[in-house]
Amino acid sequence: MAKIEKVELRMVDLVPKVKRTDAIQSFVSQETPIVTITDSDGASGTGYSYTIGTGGSSVMRLLADHLAPRLIGRDVDQIEAIWHDLEFATHATTIGAITAIALAAIDTALWDLRARKQSLPLWKLAGGAKDRCPLYTTEGGWLHIETAALVEDALAAKAKGFTGSKVKIGKPHGSQDVARLSAVRKAVGDGYEIMTDCNQGFSVDEAIRRAERLRELDLAWIEEPLPADDIDGHVRLSKSTATPIAVGESLYSIRHFREYMQKGGCNIVQVDVGRIGGITPWLKVAHAAEAFNMPVCPHFLMELHVSLVCAIQNGKYVEYIPQLDELTGDKMRIENGHALAPSEPGIGIDWDWDAVKARSIAEFTTAIVK
């Protein structure tokens, strides 16, 4: 029975390759906490999570002061027990982003360690439903991008075999969103999906109004139209439109997802490893969604989510937003618009440790040992 002997903490701050804007914010920095766990057999696993520019220092202090020390001496195979013990130890700060981001980095490291020791890729260890999954792209659909560029990017993605393109919406007037999306639909035709993302930017009445104006464009979904904690508002919106409603990017508990599914507040589940607190709760949400006959199309983290979408039967899409190129060797493999499940043991991230160490912020680099 191997025990945890060492926990190494690092944080890297990454600048997005392209300008990223949506209805409520501009995404200019990606703080990336990285946790490496080593056991008494000498095996190690690495996990990570992310912020969109704020809170990284708080995540690292929570890890260093409260969570990582509790890992020393624990049985590495008791991932479920460890997750619940850490959640209970931080019950005064859950449910919320800071704790979830910290838990996610630890939990993912433990799954990586388990998969490596069993010589299995994560997608097989966690279920093994399929060895590839369709991609849709978001990188060319940000809110500031002009209509002609939206069209050009969507056509390029379609030519590569991508399933669809996501376009951010939330312009000052609904007619502007309609014009942008109509131009894309006209260019790509009816056989290509158009996803939209509101980033929690609307009131219920405005969301209903805009959904009605967009109805004829046959959108794949409208994502995060309202504040994420407004479940009743999402129920009202879902009942008013035939366009699927997608949520999950900003939900931090399996119970939040349960309420959305039970009440009919969503049609598509976008559970995010980094926001839900790791692979352990991610799988629970994904399997619950299958019980409701809902597809899982996770938000962001494509390098990790490809394995999880391939692990489950109801995994539908992976969102193409390159995140880790500056920190990894081999990249996510793409073939005819599909992401291929990694074949190597572990979570499928080929860390370039020289690059990670060179870009690590010194004040957050910590090693906690037995």
CA angle 281, 284, 290 (to 5 degrees): 145
In this structure, the strands spanning 318-320 and 44-48 are unpaired
Please give the torsion angle defined by the CA atoms of residues 181, 182, 186 and 188, in that order, rounded to the nearest 10 degrees.
Answer: 10
Look up residue 365 and give its two tokens.
Answer: 């680099």
| Catalytic hit among 158, 166, 299, 316 | 299
CA angle 281, 314, 207 (to 5 degrees): 80
| Catalytic hit among 168, 256, 316, 338 | 168
Closest alpha carbon to 150 in 183, 172, 177: 183
Closest alpha carbon to 104 in 67, 55, 74: 67
- Rounded to whole angstroms, the Cα distance separating 101 from 90 reads 12
Annotated active-site residue 91? The verdict is no
CA 44 to chain centre: 23
Annotated active-site residue 168? The verdict is yes
Backbone angles phi, psi at 292, to 5 degrees: -95, 10
In this structure, the strands spanning 245-247 and 221-223 are parallel
CA 253 to chain centre: 14
Q: Which residues are catalytic?
A: 168, 299
